[in-house]
Amino acid sequence: MARSSRKQEILQAALACFTEHGVDATTIEMIRDRSGASIGSLYHHFGNRERIIAALYLEGIGEYAALLEAGLVDTLQPEACVKLFVTCYIDWVVANPDWARFILHNRGRVEAGEWGERLREHNRDHGKRIGAVLRRHREAGAFRPMPGDCFVSVVIGPAHDMARNWLAGRSSTALSDCRELLAEIAWDSVRSVPKGKQG
C-alpha cells in the first residue's frame, strides 16, 4: 500500500487487526483505534466492516494485477511472459505475507458479499487484458493447446500451492528460493513441444 491517505491508513490498520486478532474477532472499534480515524471517517470511506474487508481484498489483488500487467508488454517473448506470472506472484506474496494470507482466506467471503460483483468485474477486466497479450503467443503456436482457465491453473497452480504452505508455516524452504524453479516449471508445463521431440 504505497499511497498515503486516510483511506489507505484505515486499510493498513484493518490488515494489522485482522492479522493480529483474526477477521471475525476484529471490530470496527479496533480498526478505529489502530488507524486513529474517527468512526465517522470509517463509515464515510467504507460504510461498514464488511466493506473494509472487501476493499482490502480488492486492493491486494489489484496490486498484483497491476504489477503483472505492467510487465506484460506486447514485445515480451512467450517464455518470459509465462514466467512473469509466477515471479510477480511470488514477489508480491514475499513482500506482503500478511496481506497475501488475508487474501487466501477471504476470497469466498468477498465473492458472497455485496462487493462480489466488483470482484468478478475486476477479474473479468484483468483476464481480458492479460488474455490479449497471451492470445498472440497462443495463435503463434508457442503454447500447447488447452482451455484458457486450465492454462492459468497450470501456470500459477504450483506457485500458489507453495505460497499457501509457506504462508501457513508448513514449508521449511523459503518461497523466494523457489522463484526461478517454479517459473521454469510453469514454462515447461505450457510450452509447445515440437512433434519430433514429444515423448
pTM: 0.89
The per-residue pLDDT for 82 is 96
pLDDT digits (tens, 9 = 90+) for 111-168: 999 999 999 999 999 989 888 889 999 999 999 999 988 999 999 999 999 999 999 9
Mapping DSSP onto H, E and C, the string for the chain reads: CCCCCHHHHHHHHHHHHHHHHCCCCCCHHHHHHHHCCCHHHHHHHCCCHHHHHHHHHHHHHHHHHHHHHHHCCCCCCHHHHHHHHHHHHHHHHHHCHHHHHHHHHHHHHHHHCCCHHHHHHHHHHHHHHHHHHHHHHHHCCCECCCCHHHHHHHHHHHHHHHHHHHHCCCCCCCHHHHHHHHHHHHHHHHECCCHHHCC
Q: pLDDT (tens digit, 9 = 90+) per residue, 45-72?
A: 898 999 999 999 999 999 999 999 899 8
Domains annotated on the chain, with CATH = 1-47 (1.10.10.60), 57-197 (1.10.357.10)
pLDDT for position 198: 52
